[in-house]
Chains A and B, each alone.
Chain A
Amino acid sequence: MAVIGEEAGGTPAVRGPDGPAVVEVSGLRMRYGSKDVLNGVDFRIDRGEVLTLLGPNGAGKTTIIEILEGFRARSAGEVRVLGADPISGGEAWRARIGVVLQSWRDHSKWRVRDLLELFAGHYAPYSSPERPRPRDVDELLELVGLTEHAGAKLGSLSGGQRRRVDVAVGIVGRPELLFLDEPTAGFDPQARRDFHDLVHALADEEDTTILLTTHDLDEAEKLADRILMLADGRIVADGSPEALARELGSDAEVRWRVGGERFVHSTPDGTGFVRGLFEQHGEDVTDLEVRRAGLEEVYMDLVRRYESGGPAAGAEEEAR
């Protein structure tokens, strides 16, 4: 157990897998009518971690995040978020959480600054020395790149600019835990990169725990300390992007040429195979290529397996 200090309340602040989890979920089930959307989901998120929920549409990502946010009652299972059951979290609990919502046309007649200043006001009673709340609105505008649009009405903003407002609203209270559901939908590449930088800064500099959903693999790989792959209402893989690619990845594909003839061979141990190849053929081996299946192939493979209804029971243990 790694104790890194004492918080003002006197309870030791603990980090690492042995400490109190920021989010702890076990046996989570959700059923709409006769349809099971979540069939027993278990996971935990530790302080400062950036966790990505990855999965195809309809896999249950949004349902999980809404249950954790306290917006939706679960059918069964244990859920603790920052030590409380989200469905009865209360206002002080709410103040420690940030939610980036998918905005549409709400508050369209409001000016950006008015909205952020009013929302900032909601957090003022919950300030503490280690987490001063709310964030300064000018700094916040700068942080999300909306300084020039501070006086604009929300209804006049572009889709990408509105998403920046959504992000600003999510972090105005300097949350300990931040939920982001499909955060970069509608972002251009530059905005996407800015956003990724912001997520890293929140995690590194403010020790914010972040849970985000996406179906964009590239984004999951860039942002996540850990990825949970969700398919068919179940977690089918859990690990760092590298570990997932390595452990779930199918065989490495080795291509080479000997004496003008082309060869292709699939093997779980690419390095070992190549060693054998050189021992056998020495300098006759040319055009050598070793490719390991990336996360994308793993993901597509999982999605295909689940969509075709086939079991992938092995994947869960493998990924651990």
Chain B
Amino acid sequence: MSGTTDRAHLVRLSIRRGRIETRGSFTDPMELFGSVMMIGIFLVVLFFQRGGEVEGTGVDTAAASLPGVIGMMVVFTGVLSTAAALSLDREDGTLLRAKALPGGMAVYLGGKIVFMVVLIGATVLLLLVPGMLLYDGTAAGVARGWPVLLGVLLLGIAATVPLGAALGSLFENPRLVNGVGMFPVMGLTAISGVFYPVTALPEWVQAIAQVFPIYWMALGMRAALLPDAMLAVEVGESWRTLETVGVLGAWAVLGMVLAPVLLRRMARRVSGAKVEAARQKAMQRV
């Protein structure tokens, strides 16, 4: 068996695994509700903002906010959902099963990437399609900026999913991921110019926000979907495309360097005894 057919076989299995995982997740009422609820809340909040106009630009308020929300949701899903999924799979024995199969770890990870890409894609569509129908100007923005949107989206996936995998491999307890992980993400969202212009904040706060992916994902989505009339409230009155690619690219590289190391470390530590211990603990909690 040559290396290439081997790799091709693993890729095929990964896609199959991702497909099965996606179907299982999308047909599970609880999980579906959890994913859709947050998206629904944002759409409704924006719906009540629509009709207003961002001062001196002629851009609908809802349409102006939507790209930032999309960027934020990409980071949420890419980092937090990936981390939570990995941590959960380690606890419940999914990873151990993968470890017991030839090529199991590669296919597990490949399948997880496929699933996360589909999940993020679905999240973006669930925000974008209703947005095009409900908010004035979004449809025009998509028609004009879809190639940029696609590029930013791919960059965002690359910047967040490996990072989420790396973080998830650090958490032994999946409940901690959402508990502990939520606070910094929420805090960063508040200062990243998602709901109001980042230029309204003190400069040192702006500086912090500009280290992390949320700000740049939100900016990238605005660059794709909003007209240049909106530049007045951006830092340096520019979409800063190069910087966006630079910072998100740097996070992607960081994630892709860290993830394999941390994942290997995690995989080494997975054992039946650990899964059994987690089960005992979980049973005490119930």
A interface residue numbers (CB < 8 A to B):
62-63, 66, 69, 71-73, 91-92, 94-95, 99, 101-110, 114-115, 118-119, 121-126, 153, 169, 173, 181
Contact = CB atoms under 8 A, between A and B. Distances in A.
Given A92-B102, A122-B13, A63 B273 contact: yes
Contacts of B101: 94, 119, 122-123, 173
Interface in B264-280: 268, 270-273, 275-276, 279
Contacts of B25: 109
Contacts of A106: 89, 92-94, 96-97
Contacts of B107: 122
Interface stretch (B16-24, B190-198, B227-235): B16-24
B28 interface: yes
Contact of B103 (A91, A105, A108, A115): A91
- Closest 10 A-B residue pairs measured CB to CB? A109-B24, A95-B102, A106-B94, A106-B93, A99-B100, A91-B102, A94-B102, A122-B101, A106-B92, A71-B271
B144 interface: no
Nearest to B31: A109
B237 interface: no
A125 B100 contact: no
Q: Is the interface of B mostly helix, strand, loop or mixed?
A: helix
Given A101-B96, A101-B97, A110-B24, A72 B276 contact: no
Contact of B28 (A71, A92, A109): A109
Interface of B: 1, 5-6, 9, 12-13, 16-17, 20-21, 24-25, 27-28, 31, 89, 92-94, 96-97, 99-104, 107, 268, 270-273, 275-276, 279
Contacts of A72: 271, 273
Interface centre among B16, B21, B100, B107 (most CB of A within 10 A): B100
A99 B93 CA distance: 13
A66 B16 CA distance: 29
B20 A114 contact: yes
B100 A69 contact: yes
A108 B30 CA distance: 13
A104 B279 contact: yes
A122 B104 contact: yes
Interface centre among B5, B97, B275 (most CB of A within 10 A): B97
B271 A66 contact: yes
Given A106-B92, A109-B24, A126 B102 contact: yes
Interface centre among B101, B273, B275 (most CB of A within 10 A): B101
A275 to B, nearest CB: 53
B272 A101 contact: yes
A125 B270 contact: no
A107 B102 contact: no
B94 A122 contact: no
Contacts of A99: 100
A104 B20 contact: no
Contacts of A71: 96, 99, 270-272
B114 to A, nearest CB: 13
Contacts of B28: 109
Contact of A62 (B27, B103, B272): B272
Nearest to A133: B102
Interface centre among B16, B24, B31 (most CB of A within 10 A): B24
Contacts of B272: 62, 66, 71, 101-102, 181
Given A62-B273, A118-B13, A121-B12, 19 more contacts: A62-B276, A63-B273, A69-B100, A71-B96, A72-B273, A91-B103, A102-B272, A106-B97, A109-B25, A109-B28, A110-B21, A115-B20, A118-B20, A122-B13, A123-B101, A123-B102, A125-B6, A125-B9, A169-B100
A27 B102 CA distance: 29
Contacts of B5: 125
A104 B92 contact: yes
A292 B72 CA distance: 75
Nearest to A122: B101
B102 A110 contact: no
Nearest to B94: A106
